[in-house]
Amino acid sequence: MRTTLTSALLSALSLVSASPQTPQTSFTLWIPSSAVLPNPHALPPSTHATLSSLQQSFTAPLSSTNDFAFRNVTPGSYLADIHCGTHAFAPLRVDVYAAEGGEKEWTGLLVRAWETYRGNDWENKGAEAPRSGGEYGRFPVRVLGPKEYFVERGSFSIFGILKNPMILMGLVSMVLFLGLPKLIDNMDPEMRAEWEEQQKKSPMGSLMGGGQQSGANPMGNFDMAAYMAGQGSKKDEDEPSRSEPSKGNGKKGGKR
């Protein structure tokens, strides 16, 4: 029984040793100083980076030199994310592949990175991240800004109320309603008489005059009830129609 187990283990080890080893490479993501984050050393120690794909994922902690080192990465296309509690970082698309065509001077795997964002089409690549560091790629990560977990509550402001269009219209109407009579009282007598005469001639002045200007108002003698009943107004009944000739005129015409 022991002989059988030993032979099985030896055969398995021989198969593993005989199988070709998958090529691997290493690269680094680092956080440069910027106006948003002048001192990357102030980031919390829990900050870490993840490199994920459909088949596998890698995790790298934040080092003392403000970078994340990924080791033994196999060929594939990955999404690199920086997880931090105080700042947000732009994700990267990282491709690890073998050299082709004009890239034959590279003996190992090549690593290239592009900026991307959530919801973006995977084939739609953004700006390529510059590579440095020689054989092992070193790519910078862009800081988007600090994270905000709380929204400041708006305070009461009288200017905010005055910005409302309805409030502004009401204030303008109140100023006109209260200030126009005083302005008219302080006008020159001749100018005031001229202004009142213009108001009488205007259509709005005749309509607003009511019974005081019934002679100048064409709507003063209009009877709505009689009009709806199909009858003429009182003025039409009292005065004879101009289109019908009188009896006296008819007799005179007959004598002639």
* Domains of the chain: residue spans and CATH: 21-146 (2.60.40.10), 158-208 (no CATH)
Least confident of 7-16, 132-141, 148-157, 160-169: 7-16
The answer to whether the beta carbons of residues 110 and 97 sit under 8 Å apart is: yes
pLDDT digits (tens, 9 = 90+) for 176-208: 888 877 777 777 788 878 877 887 776 655 555
Query: Mean pLDDT score of the chain, rounded to an integer?
Result: 76
E strands of 53-203, at which residues? 57-61, 67-73, 76-83, 87-89, 92-98, 109-115, 137-140, 143-146
DSSP helix, strand, coil percent of the chain (3-state; round to 5)? 35, 25, 40
DSSP for residue 51: E
pLDDT(114) > 60 = yes
- Exposure string (b/e) for 93-127, b if CB count within 10 Å is 16 or more? bbebeeeeeeeeeeeebbbbbbbbeeeeeeeeeee
18 has pLDDT over 50 = no
Structure confidence at residue 57 as a pLDDT band (50, 70, 90) = very high
Confidence of residue 6 (pLDDT cuts 50, 70, 90): very low
Distances (CA, A) of 174 to 98, 102, 107, 165, 215: 79, 80, 84, 14, 33
Taking the model in full, what pTM does it have?
Answer: 0.52
- The β-bridge relationship of strands 48-52 and 143-146 is unpaired
> Could you say which DSSP state residue 110 is in?
E
Q: What six digits make up the tokens of 107?
A: 């003996």
Task: Please tell me the predicted confidence (pLDDT) of residue 68.
Answer: 94
> Which of the two residues, 105 and 143, has the higher pLDDT score?
143
Q: What would the pLDDT profile of 116-157 be if each residue is shown by its tens digit?
A: 988 888 888 888 898 887 666 889 999 999 998 888 787 877
